[in-house]
Amino acid sequence: MSMIYDTIKEINEKLLSSEFDIVECLKKTRYVAKYYNDTTPFSWIKNELKGYEKFEDLPKYRVTREERIYRREISEILQ
């Protein structure tokens, strides 16, 4: 149990630091979830690490709105 507690503490410290490796934190979070038999975050972590297979599976925060701006429009904006 102490090892899991230390891992959770380490994840929190890394996430609160100015420089952290998100991939490492996600992998350690997956390890902690597995220890507690919590399968809820598994698919989310897998998709975040390896990419989402279907557009429909993308969370809203991963979808961006595309807007094309052409040269003529830019020159009109700059005038």
Query: The pTM is what?
Result: 0.64
Q: Evaluate whether residue 76 is within a structural domain.
A: no
Q: Evaluate whether residue 24 is within a structural domain.
A: yes
Q: Evaluate whether residue 46 is within a structural domain.
A: yes
**Segments forming the whole domain that contains residue 6:** 1-55
Count of helix runs (H) and strand runs (E) in the chain? 4, 0
Q: Can you tell me whether residue 58 is helix, strand or coil? A: coil
Q: What is the pLDDT of residues 45-76, one digit of tens each?
A: 989 999 899 888 889 888 887 766 666 666 67
Count of structural domains within the chain:
1
Spatial contact of 41 and 33, defined as CB atoms under 8 Å apart: yes
Instruction: Name the average pLDDT for the chain.
Output: 85
What pLDDT sits at residue 62?
87
Percent with pLDDT over 90 in the chain: 41
Q: Evaluate whether residue 68 is within a structural domain.
A: no
